[in-house]
Amino acid sequence: MAPTPSTGRGARPDPTARRWRPPLQNRLLIRTLRSPLHRLFDGSTVALRVTGIVTGAMHELPVMFAWETSTALVVYPGRPESKKWWRNLRRRTAVSLLHRGRWHQASGEVLQPGADGYDGAVRAYHRRWPHVRIGPSDPLVRLRLIEAEPDPRAVILPGQPSQCSGRPSRLEAR
C-alpha cells in the first residue's frame, strides 16, 4: 500500500501549509550569537538546541542563563506553563549550547522544586537576575557542559558582584 497523506509515513507536506518559524527577534539574536558580535551577549544569553521527544524536530531558541558552576548553567523558562521546550528535558537529555560564538555539547535536565540542587540553582539564577521572580512551583533547567572548557568567569566568590559579561569594567581596564 502506497503511503498517503492520511497515513503520515512518506506523506508529502502540504504546499499550502505554512511551516512554523521562530519569531524574527529570536532568529536575529541567534544569528548574532553565532557572529563575532556574540560578545555583546556572552554574559546573559545562549542559544539552546533541543530535540522534541515526540516530533523529533530540532528547536533552537535563545535563553537567558546564569552560571551555577564553571561547567553548569541554569535557565528559567519564564511562564513555564505556556512553553513546551523545557518539557523535552524532563529526563537528562543531550542538547547543544551556543556560547561565546561556538556550539558545545551539553546535557540538560529539569529541576523541579524539592529536587536535589533546586535551591542552589534558584540562588545562582537570582545572583545573576535578581529582578526575576521564580514561582514556588516553577521548574528550572540545568545545562551541564560536556566537551567545553570551563568558563573561568563563571566562578563567583563570596562578596563579588553578580555576574557580568566578562569584560573588564572601565575601572578594571585602567
Q: Tens-of-pLDDT digits for all 174 residues of the chain?
A: 444 444 445 555 555 555 556 678 777 778 877 777 777 677 788 999 999 888 888 889 999 999 999 899 999 998 898 888 899 999 999 999 988 888 999 999 999 999 999 999 999 999 999 999 999 999 999 999 986 555 555 544 444 444 444 443 333 333
For Cα atoms 91, 92, 97, give the angle at the middle one, nearest 5 degrees: 130
Q: What is the CATH number of domain 24-157?
A: 2.30.110.10
Residue 55's identity, in one-letter code, is T
Backbone angles phi, psi at 104, to 5 degrees: -130, 150
Q: How far is CA 79 from CA 31, 76, 138, 148, in A?
A: 25, 9, 8, 30
Nearest to 140 by CA among 80, 67, 58: 80
Domain boundaries of the chain, sorted by first residue = 24-157
DSSP classification of residue 45: E
